[in-house]
Amino acid sequence: MKRQIPLMLVLVLGILFFVQFFVPSQLSMEIYQMALQWSIVIGAFAIVLAIGSLVNHHTLKIKRRKEHFWNSYVTLFALFAMAFLGIFGRIESLSFMSAWFRKLFLYVQAPMDSAMFAILAFYMASAAYRAFRARSKEAMLLLISGFIIMLGVVPFGAYLWGRIPDIAEWIMMVPNMAAKRGILFGVGLGMTATSLKIILGIERNWLGGGGK
């Protein structure tokens, strides 16, 4: 029963929303909108569980005095401080809390996010070094095409030879696009097949353990 109810729900709702895709009527749209709202409500419940997990995970780390456990103090302090300021900052007489919340977001979290994103540039350089080491014929091909494309998108390429931007565009629009589309065909069918397997109850791993 524990498995049959979810399987039945998936079958009925799967077929319902498959049909919904082909029915543009008002009722069909309302059902679709309602399902979207339900998913938001379910997500809200899941957030409670997720925060519980986060608190539990870090409390255990502190209790067990795991390596770098003091980081967990920072995490828990940040979590509760932001929640406290965010919730109580809504009260008019405590609006200074809301200002602090905004400051912490703008001057602490946002710069940290940006810094992390900026690190990507260095990782790209090291990854490019690895990818462009011409160890095989394929890597050689990648190196040459990468070099042409890089030259083609900067003015220096056109300065060297006027046809370089055209060749770079051809590489992007023909062989690159063909490969991308080939992958996307497979992805589209894979998505459909996975959905079908779940709707028909053939794939049950999502229920946990593959289930019999």
Rounded to a whole number of angstroms, the minimum distance from the CB of residue 138 to other proteins is 11
Task: Output 46 or 140, the one with its CB closest to other proteins.
Answer: 46
Of 1, 41, 67, 135, which lies in the binding site for other proteins, with binding defined by CB under 8 A?
67
Site string for other proteins, 34-53 (x = CB under 8 A): -----x--xx--xx-xxx-x
Residue 57 binds other proteins (CB under 8 A): yes
Residue 207 CB partners (closer than 8 Å, separation 6+)? 3, 6, 7
Task: Output 75 or 98, the one with its CB closest to other proteins.
Answer: 75
Look up residue 196 and give its two tokens.
Answer: 């079908």
CA distances from 22 to 17, 19, 189 (A): 9, 6, 19
Is residue 77 within 8 Å of residue 59, measured between CB atoms? no
CA distance 75 to 59: 10
Question: Which of the stretches 9-17, 66-74, 83-91, 167-175 binds other proteins when contact is defined by CB under 8 A?
Answer: 66-74
Residue 10 binds other proteins (CB under 8 A): no
Question: Which of the stretches 63-71, 92-100, 152-160, 162-170 binds other proteins when contact is defined by CB under 8 A?
Answer: 63-71
Task: Output 162 or 209, the one with its CB closest to other proteins.
Answer: 209
Of 18, 80, 156, 161, which lies in the binding site for other proteins, with binding defined by CB under 8 A?
18
Q: What angle do CA 10, 13, 17 make, to 5 degrees?
A: 130
Task: Output 10 or 158, the one with its CB closest to other proteins.
Answer: 10
CA distance 37 to 179: 38
Which secondary-structure segment (H or E) carries 196? helix 177-199
Site string for other proteins, 99-118 (x = CB under 8 A): ----------x--xx--xx-
The packing angle between helices 137-152 and 110-131, to 10°, is: 130
Q: What are phi and psi of 201, to 5 degrees?
A: 80, 15
Q: In whole angstroms, what separates CA 122 from the centre of its chain?
A: 21
Of 11, 143, 153, 207, which lies in the binding site for other proteins, with binding defined by CB under 8 A?
207
Residues making up the chain, counted from first to last: 212
Binding site for other proteins (CB under 8 A): 18, 21-26, 28-29, 39, 42-43, 46-47, 49-51, 53-54, 56-57, 60, 67-68, 71, 109, 112-113, 116-117, 119-120, 123-124, 126-128, 130-131, 180, 183-187, 189-198, 202-203, 205-211
